[in-house]
Chain A
Amino acid sequence: MRFLDRFRRRRQPPSGEIARERLRLVLAHDRANISPGLLDTLKDEIIAVISRHVPIDPEGVRVTFTEGPRESRLVADIPIQTGRRRRG
């Protein structure tokens, strides 16, 4: 068991590294005032608006937020259901 524990611990990054990674995300969301919950709301509304005009695959929609050194962006990835795909 000890042996397994040690093995497992090695695969997990040290806690200082985990802290830094968590902070990177938290600060990005704080700074833009965009919470993970808001991203879900945005996603639902985007699905509603787009699907009124274009057939899309709601399951495949992804709305993400990224922060770079110069700019932050919201990226919506919306897979469209094409006629071809439906046939295949």
Chain B
Amino acid sequence: MAGRVLTITSGKGGVGKTTATANLGVALATRGQRVVVVDADIGLRNLDVMMGLENRIVYDLVDVVEERCRLRQALVRDKRLSELYLLPAAQTRDKTAVGPEDMVRICEELRASFDFLVVDSPAGIEQGFRNAIAPADEVLIITNPEVAAVRDADRVIGLIEAEEKGPARLIINRIKPEMVRRGDMMETAAVVELLAVELIGLIPEDEAVITAANTGRPVALSDNSLAGRAFHNIARRLLGEDVPFVPLREAGFFERLLRFVRTEGEER
């Protein structure tokens, strides 16, 4: 069976596309899927550092397009999981080095060996975005519960529909439950209603995401953080499981104790 191409895009910059790509790649691979994450943000590559693989890159996407290497040679294996690979973007080139038809061709080749291709789109709605959605079977829109991010998401959702890549599904990232509770952040239901799309994930604001970016170990590698668990829930939904959208909360003292005891036991 040929792999599914999921493109993660947002319109607005900095809302969490690369974070989501890295973590969905990890979460899907943890569940036994063969996964390749593709960095389509040419000239501003980030996925490699988010995943802690920056020191292992030899070739990149542009080398493949310009036939300086074979596709297989450009793939970097993530040794932490059995079947997780990265196809890095070029850092010193710009978006014009690759066209939509190149992306389609490369993804077509990758489909044969993987269950999932997760494509990290650059911000904006120009060529880089066009490149990222060209090979997509499904598009996941990521946004934050803020006016500008939601507005840009709406614009992108319209473009995805016009390209007949829809219907896109929605991830709302950086939710602060405390602010929602006091009315100073939009409810997720309001965002979903405004954008009129299907929801596939809710990710809380979580300091663990920042420390994970510092160390190059995506939060989804463990289930110790709320954000990590939220990404695993998205992966389960992508695999067809019916996972309810319950608000995520910190584990209580006993849950933490239990988990501590359990992992200690495993490691021995």
Which residues of A are in contact with B by a Cβ distance under 8 Å?
Answer: 13-17, 19-20, 22-24, 26-27, 30-31
Give Cα distance in the complex from A20 to B150, angstroms.
Answer: 10
Which residues of chain A come closer than 8 Å to B151, judged between CB atoms? 23, 26-27, 30
A15 touches B154 (CB 8 A): no
B185 touches A16 (CB 8 A): yes
Which residues of chain B come closer than 8 Å to A17, judged between CB atoms? 183
Which residues of chain A come closer than 8 Å to B180, judged between CB atoms? 16
Contact of A20 among B154, B155, B158, B186 (CB under 8 A): B186
B contact residues, total (Cβ < 8 Å): 18
Which residues of chain B come closer than 8 Å to A13, judged between CB atoms? 183
B186 touches A27 (CB 8 A): no
A14 touches B183 (CB 8 A): yes
A30 touches B155 (CB 8 A): yes
Closest-CB distance, B162 to chain A (whole angstroms): 12
Which residues of chain B come closer than 8 Å to A19, judged between CB atoms? 145-147, 186
B147 touches A23 (CB 8 A): yes
Q: Which residue of A lies closest to B155 (CB)?
A: A30
Segment 144-183 of B: residues with Cβ below 8 Å from A: 145-147, 150-151, 154-155, 158, 179-180, 182-183
